[in-house]
Structures are given as C-alpha cells and as structure tokens.
C-alpha cells in the first residue's frame, strides 16, 4: 500500500480508495462492457447527476460522472444502478436511479463483484471502504452482508444475467 493511500485523519472515510489513485482507464473499460460511459469531471467542478454531492459519483442516462477525488466505491455503486436497470430505462435516469430495495441490494452486491475487475481494488478493499464510508447492513458489515445475507441480491442479478460471483 502506498503511503498516500491512507492520509492521516481521524475520519475513516478519508482512507477510501479514490478514482484518481487507480486512474480512469480501467473503470472506463469496465463500464464500457455494460454500454456505459465514464466522464471525468475537473477538480473543484460539481459532479453532474450526483445524488449526494461533494465527491460522490453522478449518473445521467448512460453516463457515470466522477472526479479524481471520487471514491471508487461510489463510482461502482452509481454504475451498478445503471447496470441493474433495463436498458430502456437508462435514458430517463438523472441523479436518482431507483427507490427499489431490490435494485439497491443488487447494486451493492454488484459493486463488490465488479471491484474484482479493477486492478488494485478487489472486493476485500471495496468492502472495507464501504464500511469506512458508512454503508450500513443488518449484519454489521459489508462482508457479513455479502457472504451471509445477500441471497436476494444474487437472485436478482442471476435472473438478469448479470455478474454475481
């Protein structure tokens, strides 16, 4: 691990892996396999389509927006929202992809699976970052949920022919 990966801070969220640390090429290629585009937003510019604001990724149509300071987990989460949607619904998405619990669960599961396809990320790191960022799960951690409580998410992804292992 590089020393600049975990800046000194009392806030665990400051330790999460950022897109600028892994670059945009691999995430862009990954998203492209699902018919999505990744657009890089310049530093200090607001991220279009960001539900949470700040450095969080945004979505509009088939495009995911991120800056160098966007957490990798956020980029994968927002991309996951678009991936789990039927293609015909994607063009209508702006900022908020769903209010469905099933789609949200599938998105969380998918972002963990997709992390394995990004060099230098992987599911272990992504789950630790999700916990540090403040994702909450019934069993107390992203790993516990993923391994023991996410059957509905796996079934959702399987039924749609999406990655689930």
**CA–CA dist 135, 114 (Å, integer):** 17
Structure tokens that stand for 11 in this block:
């806030």
Do residues 51 and 60 touch, judged by C-beta distance below 8 A? no
Residue 87 in any domain: the answer is yes
Number of domains in the chain: 1
Q: Which of 122, 141, 34 is nearest to 78 (CA)?
A: 34
pTM of the model: 0.91
pLDDT tens digits for range 96-151: 888 789 999 999 999 999 999 999 999 999 999 999 999 888 899 999 999 999 99
Is residue 3 domain-resident?
no
- pLDDT (tens digit, 9 = 90+) per residue, 149-162? 999 999 999 999 99
Determine the structural domain holding residue 64 and report its residue range.
17-159
Residue 157 three-state SS: helix
Does residue 10 fall inside a structural domain? Answer: no
């Amino acid at each position: 691990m590089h020393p600049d990966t975990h800046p000194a801070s009392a806030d665990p969220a400051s330790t999460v892996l950022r897109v600028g640390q892994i670059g945009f090429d691999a995430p862009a290629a990954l998203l492209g396999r699902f018919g999505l585009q990744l657009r890089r937003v310049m530093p200090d510019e607001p991220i279009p389509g960001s539900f949470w604001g700040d450095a969080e990724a945004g979505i509009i149509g088939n495009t995911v927006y991120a800056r160098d300071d966007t957490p990798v987990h956020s980029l994968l989460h927002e991309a996951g929202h678009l991936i789990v949607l039927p293609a015909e619904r994607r063009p209508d998405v702006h900022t908020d992809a769903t209010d469905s619990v099933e789609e949200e669960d599938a998105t969380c599961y998918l972002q963990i699976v997709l992390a394995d396809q990004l060099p230098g990320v992987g599911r272990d790191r992504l789950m630790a970052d999700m916990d540090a960022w403040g994702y909450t799960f019934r069993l107390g951690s992203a790993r516990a949920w993923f391994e023991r409580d996410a059957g509905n998410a796996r079934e959702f992804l399987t039924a749609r022919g999406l990655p689930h292992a």
